[in-house]
Structure 1
Amino acid sequence: MSITRTTRRTQAKIAVSIGALAAGSLILTACSGSSDGASGSKRDGTYYIKDVNGTSDLGQLVVKGNSVSHHEYECEGVYDKPDVTSTGEFNKDQSQIIWTVAGEDPRNERTGSEPISISDTSISISGSVYVRDNSDAGKALLDGFKVKCGK
């Protein structure tokens, strides 16, 4: 009988240890995610603005994690290569975009850093509001641009 009791105690200790390891693993996994630029962030997506930089072009802001790319499209280029492209990243406290690569077009105003504010459906850059593509405002803006461009 003493062998049976020892085996049961050993099995119980092993089961408790495995349970503790599994719980610890779940806690570490949950804690490893962050909202400061981690992939899959709530702000990830595509945003648009009409008449970007004082032109009749469509501005597109694509956010993925901490990276940002900005594209400008004329009517002919909406479904092709953008006319102007710049890339950047959010600063540590998510209050600015720091532009790291400016597009080659002389109209490009995306240099240095710009203050931003973020909501569920928009990102404002230096006061210019970019609306999320799948929001009501985003859908209306894209539909209007397609009509204007005859697409």
Structure 2
Amino acid sequence: MNTTRTARATRAKIAATAAALAAGALMLTACGGSSGGSDSSLDGTYYIKDVNGTSELGQLVVKGNTVSHHEYTCDGVYEEPDVTSTGEFNKDQTQIIWTVAGDDSRNERTGTESISTSDNTSISINGNAYVRDNSDAGKALLDAFKAKCAK
């Protein structure tokens, strides 16, 4: 038996089990009725330009511990997004655990990603800053996107 292949398979099984346990723990926390570390001041809509190199606009919607990520091109910003995935914050809101990946093969929102926040005006995912829609930066980004798409 090839021990390298066995070790890889064992590590993969351990990682999958850990991810399933983490997701189950988050679901139980969400069902508990308390905020479970949720910072409702993060609730809102955030945007980023040229997300993942696959779409012109990325949208992050936060509602309690639930996060949804949408990617848009000029053709679909007010309709169905090209790419959608959903996830949840971990207990201390330092990571997003993506639980449902979109069907689009360009979707890079899988697994767990590190986040940080700045004065409730932005959320950075792996160093990429999403700005709140009603902030000056958010308004400027959306205005530029609308102008680009109007051409």
Q: TM-score range by the shorter chain?
A: 0.7 to 0.9
How many percent of aligned residue pairs carry the same amino acid?
Answer: 77
Report deviation, 1:33. Answer: 7.0
Q: Deviation per CA, 1:75-130, whole angstroms, max 9, x where unpaired?
A: 01011110100000000111100000001111100000000001220000001100
Pair 1:62-2:58 in alignment = no
TM-score, normalization by structure 2: 0.74
- Please give the alpha-carbon distance, in whole angstroms, between the structure 1 residues aligned to 2:36 and 2:90: 13
Structure 2: 5+ residue runs without aligned partners?
1-32
Note the 1:1-150 alignment, pairs <5 A: 34=35, 36-37=37-38, 41-119=40-118, 120-150=120-150
* AA aligned opposite 1:121: T
| SS in structure 2 at match of 1:86 | strand
Structure 1: 5+ residue runs without aligned partners?
1-31
The alignment's C-alpha RMSD in Å is 1.7
Report deviation, 1:37. Answer: 1.6
In the other structure, the counterpart of 2:6 is none
Q: In the comparison of the two structures, how many residue pairs are matched?
A: 118
Distance 1:37 1:59, change over 3 A: same
* AA aligned opposite 1:150: A
- Please give the alpha-carbon distance, in whole angstroms, between the structure 2 residues aligned to 1:66 and 1:46: 14
- Write out the 4+ residue segments of structure 1 that deviate beyond 4 Å after TM superposition: 32-35
Q: Deviation per CA, 1:18-76, whole angstroms, max 9, x where unpaired?
A: xxxxxxxxxxxxxx9757226xx100000000000013420000000000000001101
